[in-house]
Amino acid sequence: MRFFPKSNLVPLTLQQAQPPQDPASVQSSVYATKDVKQQLLTDQHHKCCYCECNLNGDFGDVEHYRPKMGYALKNNPDGLHKPGYYWLAYDWNNLLLSCSCCNRSFKKNFFDLKVESARNIEGKDISHEEPLLVNPSTEDPSAFIGYHDFMAYPKVINGAESDRGQYTIRLLGLNTRQDLVDCRSRVWDKWQTWNKIMKVGQSLLKKGLTAEGEELLQYAQREIKTMKSPESEYSEMFV
């Protein structure tokens, strides 16, 4: 998961839409339109907001950070509390783009708070909420989540592991989805290879093989820079 500051260019469809007045009036034809998806794709560098996989063939699901129709709690996964945050269904600040796996198999409708009594859906008031799920469009996930090689871990804050880091890692299955872990592992191996090649280039320079050393070094540095860029899959591991 990597921080991406969301564009202020609110898609025209959302600008023209009125907030739903009740759950029954929420329409996917408003929040899942082409212009909304395209702007989210651009903002997120064509990657899933949660796992950082490239959204190639999977155009992605428009994901509501705060669930629109109902919310579930991790200690009661079978219970759906209704209504959800229906009035935010067209709110640009509540929309993300995720891969179908993250959205449908892991995030689903889960949305726990640090203090459940702070939830005030009846009053449409989110000002006192402290969500446990990290929102990559409004805060830097690296404040809560780090990586040991290609495995995610909750960072220590004030002497204890971040509860938000723990919740986000577990909810999204960042360390338990074998296909995702394997993908990050392959990218990590490539990272290690390019770092070794860079050291070879530095060694050649020390031996006086200037032309060979500089060529190898520049090539490796270019590849490493690309892997760290926001556009690259799983690049948060290297930031």
pLDDT at 58: 60
pLDDT at 207: 86
Distance, CA of 48 to CA of 170 (rounded, Å):
17
- The pTM score is 0.93
pLDDT at 211: 86
pLDDT at 77: 67
pLDDT in tens, the chain (239 residues): 999 999 989 999 999 999 999 999 999 999 999 999 999 999 999 999 999 999 976 678 999 999 999 999 988 867 899 999 999 999 999 999 999 999 999 999 999 999 999 999 999 999 999 999 999 999 999 999 999 999 999 999 999 999 999 999 999 999 999 999 999 999 999 999 999 999 999 998 888 888 888 899 999 999 999 999 999 999 999 98
Q: Reduced to 3 states, what is the DSSP secondary structure of residue 199?
A: helix
pLDDT at 57: 65
Return the percent helix, strand and coil in the chain, to nearest 5: 45, 15, 40
Please state the three-class secondary structure of 15-63 as a single string.
HHCCCCCCHHHCCHHHHCCHHHHHHHHHHCCCECCCCCCECCCCCCEEE
Residue pair 10/38 in contact by the 8 Å Cβ criterion: no
